[in-house]
Amino acid sequence: MTFIKWFLPIFVTTLSFGAASAAERPNIVVIVADDLGNADLGYRGSKIKTPHIDALAKGGVRLESYYGLPLCTPARAALMTGRYPMRQGLQTLVIFPSHRYGLPTDEKTLPQALKEVGYHTAMVGKWHLGHADKKFWPQNRGFDHFYGNVVGEVDYFTRERGGVVDWQRNGEFLREDGYYVDLIGTEAVKLIAGHDKAKPLFLYFASLAPHAPYQAPKADIDAYNDIFDNEMHRTYAGMISNLDRQVGRVVAALETNGMRENTIIFFTTDNGGATSALFATGARAPEEREASGGVALGSKPPCSNLPFSGGKGSLKDGGVHLPAIVNWPGRLKPSVVNEPLHHVDLMPTLLALAGGKGDPSKPFDGKDAWGTLAEGKPSPHEEILINVEAFRGSIRKGRWKLIKVATLPGKTELFDLIQDPGEKENLAEAFPEVVRDLEARLMNYAKQQKMSEWLKSQVDYLGFQGETLLDPGYSTDGGLPHEKPVLPTK
C-alpha cells in the first residue's frame, strides 16, 4: 500500500506530461526547391524578387554551411531517411522514367516516424524516390495525403512526361488546368485550412521549380522584362518568384488557422543550380530543347551558385552547398549559423523535437542539430560525407574538403573552404597528411556503400544514357526526354 501511495502520483504526473508534450508538438513544414541556385534568392543578393523567403531568412536561422547531394534522387533519399543515400544504393544519378527501383521499402521514412507519434502527414509536389511500383509511392511511404508527380521533371502546364500524365491525388491520375507551382500552393493552403489542430501537421512541400524545363506564367516572366535581357533568365526568375509567392501563401494560411507560432518551417533546395545544359533537360534536338523550356547544348543555364564553383551534378560546392533556413517564431532567434550541417540532419532533428524515433537497425547518419540551431553550438559532426560512389566521392572535415575521382587517370583535390570557398586552389600536394586523413575517412564510407541501383539498371541500356558510365560529370538527370515513364495503373 505504501508503494502504491508513493508510485501513483508519479505515474499520473508522467501521463500528464506525456499528454501535454503531444499537444505541444510543433507543426512541421518542409519546403524544398529543385535545382535552386545558391545566389538566386533576394536575401542572397539576387535581383530575383523573393520577399516571402527573405522574410523567413530575416526572422529565422540562416544556415550558411549547409550541404545536400549533387542530384535529385540522392538528396530526397537523405531528407526522407536521415541516412546517406549510399546505404540505399541511391548515391548515383537519379531514377530514370524507365527504371523500376526506388527507395527501399525497409527504410523508415520521416513521415512514417511522425505518423507513429500522432502527426497527420501530407505531401505536395515532386517525389522522385520510385514510381514503377505503387509500394514506392508517397502514400505507401508514410504520407496520409499526396498530390503531385512521382517521376522527375514534367511539363509545368500539362504535367506530362513522354506523353504520359504524371499527376495524381492519392493514386488517382488527373488532367487539370493550371501551372504546377500554383497548383501545389493551392493544395497546401487547402490542407492547412482544413487541418484538425488536435493533431500536429507535417507538410512536405516539394516544388519542381525552378528545375527545367524553364516554364512560367506570362505575368511572372513579364515582371522581369526590365531586369533581365534574356528570355530564359526572365522565365527562370519568374519560376522562383512564383515559388516565393506560394511560400507566402503557406505562411499566411498557417497564420489564418492559428498555427504559425507553433510551426517550424524549413526551407532549402535539393542540390545546386544547373550550370551545364546537360543538367537542364528538355527536348533533345537543340531547336526543340529551347522551345520546350530546355537549354540548347552549348548554352549556359540561367542559374548562379556564386561564390561557389560547379553546379548540379558536381561535388564542388556549387552543386552541394545550399541555401537553408529554419524559422520558428518564439523558439528560434534570428541568427546566422556557419557550422557544417547536411540533409541527413533534418530527420533526426525533427524527430527529437516531435518525440519520434528512427529504426534502430538502420541508424541515422544525421545528427540532432537543435543545439547548433538554437544555441549556436558547434556542428554535431566531426566530418560530413558529401557523397560517395563507385567512381568518386567527397568529404568535409572542418575547413578542409576532399574530392576524389577514381576514374582514370584519377584526381585528388583538397580545398581550404575558409580561405578558398570557390575551390580554385588544389592544396593536395601541400597538405599530404590532411589528404591521408580524409582519404581514410572517405574509404571507410566507400566500403559501407551498397551497389548503386542506377549502375545495376543501366546494364540494360545502351547508347545515349549509357554514356554516363564513361564520364561521371555527364548526365541528363532523367533519361531521354521523350521516354515514357513506367507508371502502374492498377
- Catalytic-labelled residue, pool 72, 99, 233, 321: 72
Quote the CA–CA distance of 292 and 396 in Å, as a whole number: 38
Quote the CA–CA distance of 390 and 410 in Å, as a whole number: 13
Distances (CA, A) of 201 to 24, 49, 380: 12, 29, 27
Q: Does 131 participate in catalysis according to the annotation?
A: no
- The three grid cell numbers given for residue 80, joined into one nine-digit string: 526522407
- The three grid cell numbers given for residue 306, joined into one nine-digit string: 556564386
Torsion over CA of 349, 353, 358 and 363, rounded to 10 degrees? 40
Quote the CA–CA distance of 400 and 382 in Å, as a whole number: 12
Q: Does 72 participate in catalysis according to the annotation?
A: yes
- Give 257's DSSP letter: T
Helices 180-193, 231-256: axis angle to 10 degrees equals 10
Quote the CA–CA distance of 256 and 259 in Å, as a whole number: 8
Tell me the CB-side half-sphere exposure of residue 340, using CA atoms within 13 A.
Answer: 20
Residue whose C-alpha cell is 523558439? 331
Kindly give, in sequence order, each residue whose CB lies less than 8 Å from that of residue 459, ignoring residues fewer than 6 positions away: none
Quote the CA–CA distance of 326 and 90 in Å, as a whole number: 27
8 A C-beta contact, residue 52 and residue 225: no
Q: SS3 for 408?
A: coil
Quote the CA–CA distance of 96 and 90 in Å, as a whole number: 12
- Catalytic-labelled residue, pool 52, 128, 195, 342: 128
Quote the CA–CA distance of 270 and 33 in Å, as a whole number: 7
Q: Which residues are catalytic?
A: 72, 128
